[in-house]
Chains A and B, each alone.
Chain A
Amino acid sequence: MSDSGTLVEKIWQQHVVDDGDGQDLLYIDLHLIHEASSSQAFDGLRLAGRQVRRSDLTLAVEDHNVPTDTLAVTDPISREQLGALRASCAREGIELLRHGDARQGIVHVVAPELGLVQPGMTITCGDSHTSTHGAFGALALGVGTTDVEHVLATQTLALPRPRTMAVDFTGVPGAEVTAKDLMLRMLAEVGANGAHGYVIEYRGEAVRRLSMEGRMTMCNLSIEAGARAGMVAPDDTTFAYLEATPRRPTGSHWDDALAYWRTLRSDDDARFDRVLTLDVGAASRYVTWGTNPGQAVSLDGAVPDPSEFADPGQRAAAQRALHYMGLQPGTLMRDVAIDVVFIGSCTNSRIEDLRVAADVLRGRRVADGVEMLVVPGSMEIRAQAEREGLHQVFLEAGASWRFSGCSMCLGMNADRIKGASRCASTSNRNYEGRQGPRARTHLVSPAVAAATAVAGTLAAPGDLN
C-alpha cells in the first residue's frame, strides 16, 4: 500500500490485529445488536462455553419486533425474541435499550444519536443497513448471525480487503432534492448491483452540504447498490453534531479525538479502484416504480416500458416488477394512487425528516381512504418532535403517531400492509412482499411521502394547493 491512501484504507490499517491468509483480522470498536439476528449467536456462545469478550463495546437495542402502537408486547413470538435478548444481555452484562425506554429506537438511529458512532471507528451489526454509520467517517459493515457470534466472542472479524469506489456528485441540486433523491438517482443509474463489493466514499459539494441526517440517509442506502459500506469523510458538520451528543469524548479526550478526526480524509492523490461521477445539478425528486431500489425514476417521469431495457435480464425483471406492482408502462408517476403512507425506518425517520413532513402537512388533511403512519426513529426523536409540536400536526392531519421501531419497513411485526395495497414509504426496500405478503411499495423521500398522503397520488409538496 502506498503512503497516500483513501479514507477506508486509513481506517482499515488502524484496525488490523493480524494479517494473514488473504484476509485481515480487524478489531471492531462498536458492536450493535438487535433481537432479530442475535439469539442464535448467543446460543452458539453458550453451547461452546464462551463469553462475550467486550460487553463494554456492545450495545443492544429492541427494534425489529416491537409494536409501535403500544408499549405492551402481546405477540407471543415477539415476546419470546425480546425475552431472549433481555436474558442474554443480563447474563453477559450488555447495555440494552428496551421497548419504551427513553433512548430506545431503531439501532441505526440510536447509536449515532448517543454519540457512540465516531469518525475512524469500525462498527458491525447483524443488519445490512449498518452502512448508515459511515456518515461519520466510520467503517460500518453489516454481517450475518455467525459473524455476530464471532464478534461477540472475539471483538474481531476476518475480512477481505475491500475494493474502493468514489462516488463524486457534481453540481448542486435545488433545495427540494434530498439525500434520498440523490441516492435513488444513483441507484437508477448503477442498479441494485452497481457497487457490488465496494466500499463507497461519497464526495462533492452536494454531499458536503448535507446535514448528518442526510448523510446517514445516503450511507444507509449504499447497501441497496450492493456496496459493502458507504462513507463520508468527517468535517465540521460531523464534529458539530457529535459535540451535541451525550456520549462524545470529553475534556482533553475531545481535543485529542478532534485532532485525529481532522486527519481522516482520503489524500488528494489517493487511488480508488473505481470512480463514478454523477452530475446532480439538475436532479429532481425520485421515486421507485419496481421491486428493487434501482428501479427508480424521476417523480416527473412515467413507468418505463420493459422493452426499453436492452439487457434481457433487466427487461425480464421489469416485466415481473410491473406485473407484481400492478402498473402499466407509460403511466405518469403522479397518477399512481396510494393506499398507505409510511414515514419511518432507519433511512428517513430522523427529526429533520419529521420536520419536512410536518411542514407539508401543516393545515392539511390526509386524503380520504389513505392511511398514514409516522414512526419516529427513536424515542428521543419522538420526544423532540413533541417538544416542537410536530405530533400535533400529524395527528390533526389524520396520521397515526407511533412509538419507535422498525415498524412497517419489513413486515416482521404487527405494522404491515394488508393485501395488495400500495404504499409510499420512506424506507429502503421495495422488494416483493417486504412490507407484507403482497404489498406494493414505492420508495420516496419524506417530503414526497407527506405530499402523497394529502394528494392520494404520488406528489411533490408543490403540487398541493
Chain B
Amino acid sequence: MQAIEAHTGRMAPLRRNDVDTDQIIPSDFCRRLTKTGFEDGLFAGWRADPDFVLNREPYASATVLVAQRNFGSGSSRETAVWALRDWGFAAVIAESFGDIFQRNAGKNALLAVALGADAVGALLDHATERPDAEITVDLLDRQVRSEVGVWDFAIEDRARWLMLNGLDEIAVTLGRDAAIRAHEAARPPWLPRTAAPTRAVPVP
C-alpha cells in the first residue's frame, strides 16, 4: 500500500445519508478480475442524472467527497473503494461509515474520516458556496482543516500506522508466525476441515 500522511484538495458535496456500496458502484461493474479501472462504474446510476454533483465541474475533479450518515453501508464490495480511488478521490468525509467500507478504505490508502454532523454540515455548505475551497485531511495529526473550521478525528491506531507507513499487512502478520502456529497447535480436534479438492474442471 502507498504511504499517506495528509491530503489537500477540493470537495464534492453529496448531501445524502445511507449511500450504500451498490450506489457507489452497481454490481454490474464489479465483475472484472482487475484491481483498477473501476472509475466508469462510480455512482453509475446517479451519474445518469446530468445534475448529479460529479457531472459538474469543479466537483467532477474534486478529491475529497463529503457525505452524511452511514456512507458505504451494505455490500462488502471493495470495488466501491477502488472506484472512488480510480475516479481520483483521496479522502471521504462523512458522519459515519459502513464498517466494512471504512476498513476496506484503510487498506487502499483512501482516507475515510468521520466527523460530527455539525462539521459535516459546515463542510457541505462551504463546498456548495465555495466550490474552489480546499480542505486538508491530515492523518498524521488526526485533523481536518478548512477555512470554516478545524476538527480532530478518531482513527484506530493500527489502521493509521499501516497507512502512514504504507505497510504490507500480510507481511506484518506473517511476522507473528510463531504465535499463529502456537494457536493452531492448540485448536480443538473436533473443528471441521474442508475436503481435499478434486481435479480442475473447465466451466461448462
Q: Could you mark each residue 119-131 of chain A with 1 if its beta carbon is under 8 Å from any beta carbon of chain B, else 0?
A: 0010000111000
Interface size class of B (residues with CB under 8 A): 35 or more
Interface contact B30-A18, CB-CB below 8 Å: no
Given contacts A93-B197, A147-B103, whether A84 and B33 have CB atoms under 8 Å apart is yes
| Any A CB within 8 A of the CB of B139 | no
Q: How distant is B19 from chain A, measured CB to nearest CB, in Å?
A: 10
Interface contact B179-A36, CB-CB below 8 Å: no
- A387 CA / B45 CA spacing, docked (Å): 43
- A196 CA / B70 CA spacing, docked (Å): 8
Q: Which residue of A lies closest to B105 (CB)?
A: A144
| Any A CB within 8 A of the CB of B118 | no
Q: Could you mark each residue 416-446 of chain A with 1 if its beta carbon is under 8 Å from any beta carbon of chain B, else 0?
A: 0000000000000101111001000000000
Partner of A431, one of B74, B157, B168, B169: B74
Chain B residues positioned under 8 Å from A410 (CB to CB): 22, 27, 75
Given contacts A17-B176, A150-B170, A432-B23, whether A57 and B194 have CB atoms under 8 Å apart is yes
| Any A CB within 8 A of the CB of B192 | yes
Partner of A82, one of B34, B174, B176, B203: B203
Q: Is the interface of A mostly helix, strand, loop or mixed?
A: mixed
Interface residues of B in 1-40 (CB under 8 A from A): 15-18, 20, 22-23, 26-28, 30-35
Interface contact B99-A437, CB-CB below 8 Å: no
Q: Which residue of B lies closest to A428 (CB)?
A: B74
| Any A CB within 8 A of the CB of B188 | yes
Chain A residues positioned under 8 Å from B34 (CB to CB): 40
Interface contact B194-A292, CB-CB below 8 Å: no
| Any A CB within 8 A of the CB of B107 | yes
Interface size class of A (residues with CB under 8 A): 35 or more
| Any B CB within 8 A of the CB of A383 | no
Q: How distant is B176 from chain A, measured CB to nearest CB, in Å?
A: 5
Q: How distant is A99 from chain B, measured CB to nearest CB, in Å?
A: 7
| Any A CB within 8 A of the CB of B156 | yes
Partner of A257, one of B30, B81, B188: B188
Q: How distant is A64 from chain B, measured CB to nearest CB, in Å?
A: 8
Q: Which residue of A lies closest to B108 (CB)?
A: A146
Interface contact A94-B194, CB-CB below 8 Å: yes
Interface residues of B in 64-114 (CB under 8 A from A): 68-70, 73-78, 81, 96, 98-100, 103-104, 107-108
Q: How distant is B156 from chain A, measured CB to nearest CB, in Å?
A: 6
Q: Could you mark each residue 154-175 of chain B with 1 if its beta carbon is under 8 Å from any beta carbon of chain A, else 0?
A: 0011100100000011100110
Interface contact B170-A314, CB-CB below 8 Å: no
Chain A residues positioned under 8 Å from B199 (CB to CB): 90
Q: How distant is A403 from chain B, measured CB to nearest CB, in Å?
A: 12
Q: Could you mark each residue 395-421 of chain A with 1 if its beta carbon is under 8 Å from any beta carbon of chain B, else 0?
A: 000000000000000111000000000
| Any A CB within 8 A of the CB of B60 | no
Q: Could you mark each residue 174-204 of chain B with 1 if its beta carbon is under 8 Å from any beta carbon of chain A, else 0?
A: 1010011011100111111111110111111
Knowing that A77-B31, A118-B191, A313-B69 touch, tell me 9 more A-B residue pairs with CB under 8 angstroms.
A18-B180, A22-B156, A23-B156, A83-B202, A95-B197, A156-B173, A316-B17, A317-B18, A410-B22
A interface residues, Cβ below 8 angstroms from B: 15, 17-18, 21-23, 25, 27, 29-30, 36-37, 39-40, 43-44, 48, 50, 55-59, 65, 71-73, 77-84, 86-87, 89-90, 93-96, 98-100, 115-116, 118, 121, 126-128, 142-147, 149-150, 153-156, 158, 160, 192-193, 196-197, 223-224, 226, 228, 247-249, 253-254, 256-257, 260, 292, 313-314, 316-317, 320, 410-412, 429, 431-434, 437
16 interchain pairs (CB within 8 A)?
A21-B157, A40-B34, A43-B33, A59-B194, A77-B32, A78-B31, A79-B203, A83-B203, A128-B100, A147-B104, A153-B173, A193-B17, A226-B70, A256-B190, A313-B17, A313-B69
